[in-house]
Amino acid sequence: QVQLQQSGPGLVKPSQTLSLTCAISGDSVSSNSADWNWIRQSPSRGLEWLGRTYYRSKWYNDYAVSVKGRIILNADTSNNQFSLQLKSVTPEDAAVYYCAGYSTSARWFDPWGQGTLVTVSS
Amino acid sequence: DIQMTQSPSSLSASVGDRVTITCRASQSISNSLNWYQQKPGKAPKLLIYGASSLQSGVPSRFSGSGSGTDFTLTISSLQREDFATYYCQQSYSIPFTFGPGTKVDIK
């Protein structure tokens, strides 16, 4: 059974970088049949897909236009985890952030991390 | 981007009621449509995938139908544990997008 465990600070100052990590158990971040995603949820934007990282003989990333230029996703094969960095945050980036797995054969988000409530405030 | 809409945005129902939620995509997505249930403070949970396939462990009172642009989620007999918010999500193309949600609460 695949499980995801998120970690990272819940408070970020405006203009700084939000950094979250998602540790995977029961699967490999280097799997050729899974994508590793970040999704956020806020009252104003609802559920918003931010991006994915995946391995298909080499590493690929896809990002949402809304955060492109500010987002970096990385995979850490040594620790079997992946991470989100979102730069230059504003109060609009305040949300619950989720990591989620996506099987390319199944084509749905499962499992999900437990969620991290991120507040943007000085 | 493919836009997803849902109706209604909220509804009040009683235990035992039949409930239907509609999801519409801004372009055809074949059957690449998933439904999730979310309870307060929890991550969304997959109910239906591929528009009509029931995820393992999900009660059979949940069903999904549709293809192309119009989809429905039906709960045949609402149970107390079904009071939650329901989201549709298209897996047809990047960026993956979600509907705004339908909150089901107790009448």
pLDDT, tens digit, 9 for 90 and up, residues B45-61: 999 999 999 999 999 99
Beta bridge partners, B76, equal none
For A82, the enclosing helix (H) or strand (E) is: strand A81-86
CA atoms of B92 and B97, how far apart (whole Å) = 9
Name residues of chain A where pLDDT drops below 70.
none
The C-alpha of A45 sits at a distance from chain B's nearest C-alpha, in angstroms, of: 8
pLDDT for B11 equals 97
Candidates A48, A108, A113; nearest CB to B91: A108
pLDDT for B107 equals 86
Q: Is B2 exposed, middle or buried (0-12, 13-18, 19+ CB in 10 A)?
A: middle
Q: Quick check: A65 and B50 CB within 8 A?
A: no
Q: Is A1 exposed, middle or buried (0-12, 13-18, 19+ CB in 10 A)?
A: exposed
CA atoms of A39 and B17, how far apart (whole Å) = 32
pLDDT for B106 equals 87
Chain A residues touching residue B94 (CB < 8 angstroms): 52, 62
Name which of A47, A50, A107 to mutate to probe chain B: the one with the most chain B Cβ atoms within 10 A of its Cβ: A47
DSSP character for B77?
S
pLDDT for A50 equals 98
Name which of A61, A109, A114 to mutate to probe chain B: the one with the most chain B Cβ atoms within 10 A of its Cβ: A109
Chain A residues touching residue B101 (CB < 8 angstroms): 46-47
* Four-point Cα dihedral B77, B82, B84, B87, nearest 10: -70
pLDDT, tens digit, 9 for 90 and up, residues A25-38: 999 999 999 999 99
Determine the average pLDDT of the residues in B18-44: 98
Q: Quick check: A107 and B101 CB within 8 A?
A: no
